[in-house]
Amino acid sequence: MLTLGAIGVVELVTTAYVFAEVEEVLRRSEFRLEEQEVLDLVRYAHGALAVLPDPPTAQVRAYEGRIRDKKDAPVWAGADATRAMYLVTGDKVLLGTVPQAIRSKALLVKVFSGES
């Protein structure tokens, strides 16, 4: 997906909260990435997508009662704040709760079939 964003096939946006979460996940031992590899991936991602400011705290709180895991409230609030057509995720709670949530594979099908 990042490559499609980098070449302009899709417009990718995220929020600072989500981007920081991705950075943290990349540093987990199960990925076995060296620090330089993480930095290279982060740099590539910055070139492929726009990182927008997080929505205001009050806006995020409005989503907390609408989703089971409060840690996902900033993700949903950010998707709505950026007017995202799709929220690309593998998170089962988000997929089952957020109307515009979609898996990467499903979005790729839409992109290449001309649906989006």
CA distances to 16, 26, 27, 79 from 31, rounded to whole Å, are: 22, 7, 7, 26
**Residue 29 CA to its chain's centroid (Å):** 21
- Cα gap 98→66, rounded to integer Å: 9
Give the residue extent of every domain in the chain.
2-113
- Cα gap 57→37, rounded to integer Å: 32
pLDDT, tens digit (0-9, with 9 covering 90-100), for 43-88: 999 999 999 999 999 999 999 999 999 999 999 999 999 999 999 9
User: What whole-number percentage of the chain has pLDDT above 90?
Assistant: 97
- Mean pLDDT across the stretch 85-104? 96
- CATH architecture of the domain 2-113 equals 3-Layer(aba) Sandwich (3.40)
Q: What is the pLDDT of residue 34?
A: 97
pLDDT category at 116 given cuts 50, 70, 90 is: confident
